């Protein structure tokens, strides 16, 4: 009985856009993927935007991605330095235990 229930076809709540009918058992995961936009830095991180309001309104998955995008837009080394400094301060404020951020992969 449970299996039959899981096999019911349901229209995704985003059906107008995605046109997909999914099994009830897959619906929750599909709707999450379907209604959550990709991170603006998706080509680098491959992630969906975060559900944290601060990040989701910017369509970002993480503060690291925001930093990477800002660095891409920066005009010179001084700006990049300022961005990284601000980022470090934010991270320290948010995550006191994680102050040792590895900056080597931010190029």
Closest separation between CB of residue 16 and Zn ion, Å? 10
Helix or strand or coil: residue 16? Answer: helix
List the x/- string, 42-71, binding to Zn ion by CB under 5 A.
---x-x-------------x---x------
Identify the residue among 27, 39, 67, 83 touching Zn ion (CB under 5 A).
Answer: 39
Closest separation between CB of residue 78 and Zn ion, Å? 25
Helix or strand or coil: residue 21? Answer: strand
> How far is the C-alpha of 47 from the C-alpha of 62, rounded, in Å?
9
**CA angle (68 as vertex; 80, 59 as ends), nearest 5:** 130
Q: What backbone phi and psi angles, to 5 degrees, belong to 73?
A: -85, -15
Identify the residue among 18, 25, 84, 106 touching Zn ion (CB under 5 A).
Answer: 18
Interface positions with Zn ion (CB under 5 A): 12, 14, 18, 20, 34, 39, 41, 45, 47, 61, 65
């Amino acid at each position: 009985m449970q299996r039959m229930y899981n096999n019911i076809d349901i229209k995704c709540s985003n059906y107008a856009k995605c046109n997909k009918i999914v099994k009830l058992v897959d619906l929750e995961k599909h709707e999450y993927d379907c209604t959550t936009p990709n991170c603006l830095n998706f080509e680098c991180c491959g992630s969906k935007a975060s559900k944290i309001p601060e990040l989701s309104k910017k369509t970002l998955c993480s503060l690291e991605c925001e930093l990477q995008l800002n660095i891409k837009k920066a005009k010179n080394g001084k700006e990049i330095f300022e961005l990284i400094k601000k980022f470090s301060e934010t991270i320290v404020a948010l995550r006191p235990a994680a102050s040792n951020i590895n900056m080597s992969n931010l190029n």
